[in-house]
């Protein structure tokens, strides 16, 4: 079989990454709703979507392998293929983190996982994480370097929420026991890591386009 031309393969890889980011964003959005609203069936739906993201990741590997084997890309094209493979790994981990959120909601059902003190914080963490993933999808499609660099700044708000969660848990007046504290610690980490991987996808795009790390790009 004659391989597709390299430009077409690179365009497909960009689109696949965008689809993966969008899928991960949708999974986390649903998992967050399941967490906040104690919706076991919605959590199960998120868990059932795992195979869809795995199929997209497998397609990325297939197209990237063909590009490397049949076209031997160099310079910017080689960076684009290698960065796509790395980014697919990051997005796959984003999907797994969304899965962990859904599994936590499912495991504790019908009891709520989150006490009232942290519900608004987790709603905001979910909103920020989904926003970062959707921005990463836009960056994957557009290769917009300036938008990619902006994701680092957007991630600062997530880091602040993550730190605040520890302040809440360390308060001597915390009334909800060790079990709830463990759940909240893990969940906060899932959201924080999800956001970090979205930023990593944008960073890989910057490297693919410019050959430079994002910190070296003037805003």
Three state DSSP letters for the chain: CCCCCHHHHHHHHHHHHHHHHHHHHHHHHHHHHHHHHCCHHHHHHHHHCHHHHHHHHHHHHHHHHHHHHHHCCCHHHHHHHHHHHHHHHHHHHHHHHHHHHHHHHHHHCCCCCCCHHHHHHHHHHHHHHHHHHHHHHHHHHHCCHHHHHHHHHHHHHHHHHHHHHHHHHHCCCCCCHHHHHHHHHHHHHHHHHHHHHHHHHHHHHHHHHHCCCHHHCCC
The CATH number that applies at residue 144 is 1.20.58.220
In this prediction, residue 219 carries a pLDDT of 42
Q: How far is CA 7 from CA 4, 55, 188, in A?
A: 8, 22, 40
One digit per residue, the tens of pLDDT, for the chain of length 219 reads 677 899 999 999 999 999 999 999 999 999 999 999 999 999 999 999 999 999 999 999 999 999 999 998 888 899 999 999 999 999 999 999 999 999 999 998 888 999 998 999 999 999 999 999 999 999 999 999 888 888 888 899 999 999 999 888 888 888 888 889 999 999 999 999 999 999 999 999 888 888 876 555 544
Q: Contact 104/183 with Cβ under 8 angstroms?
A: yes
Residue 1 lies in a domain: no
pLDDT recorded at residue 171: 84
State the residue range of the domain holding 155. Answer: 6-216
∠ at Cα 35 (32, 36), nearest 5°? 90
Domain count, the chain: 1
Contact, 53 vs 20, CB < 8 A?
yes
Residue at 152 is within a domain: yes
Q: With respect to residue 111, please indicate whether it lies within any of the assigned structural domains.
A: yes
Residues 6+ apart with CB under 8 A from 167: none
What confidence score (pLDDT) does residue 1 get? 65
d(CA 72, CA 62): 15
């Amino acid at each position: 079989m004659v391989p597709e031309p390299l430009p077409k393969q690179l365009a497909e890889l960009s689109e696949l990454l965008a689809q993966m980011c969008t899928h991960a964003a949708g999974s986390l959005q649903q998992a967050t709703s399941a967490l906040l609203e104690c919706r076991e069936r919605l959590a199960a739906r998120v868990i059932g979507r795992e195979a869809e993201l795995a199929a997209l990741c497998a397609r990325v590997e297939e197209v990237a392998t063909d590009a490397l084997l049949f076209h031997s890309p160099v310079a910017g094209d080689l960076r684009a293929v290698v960065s796509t493979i790395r980014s697919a790994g990051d997005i796959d981990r984003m999907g797994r983190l969304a899965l962990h959120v859904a599994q936590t909601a499912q495991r504790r059902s019908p009891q709520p996982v989150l006490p009232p003190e942290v519900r608004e914080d987790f709603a905001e963490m979910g909103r920020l994480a989904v926003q970062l993933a959707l921005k990463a999808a836009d960056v994957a499609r557009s290769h917009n370097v300036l938008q990619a660099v902006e994701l680092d700044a957007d991630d600062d708000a997530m880091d602040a929420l993550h730190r605040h969660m520890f302040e809440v848990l360390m308060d001597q007046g915390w009334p909800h026991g060790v079990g709830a504290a463990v759940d909240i610690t893990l969940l906060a980490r899932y959201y924080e890591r999800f956001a970090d991987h979205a930023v990593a996808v944008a960073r890989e795009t910057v490297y693919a386009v410019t050959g430079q790390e994002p910190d070296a790009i003037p805003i």
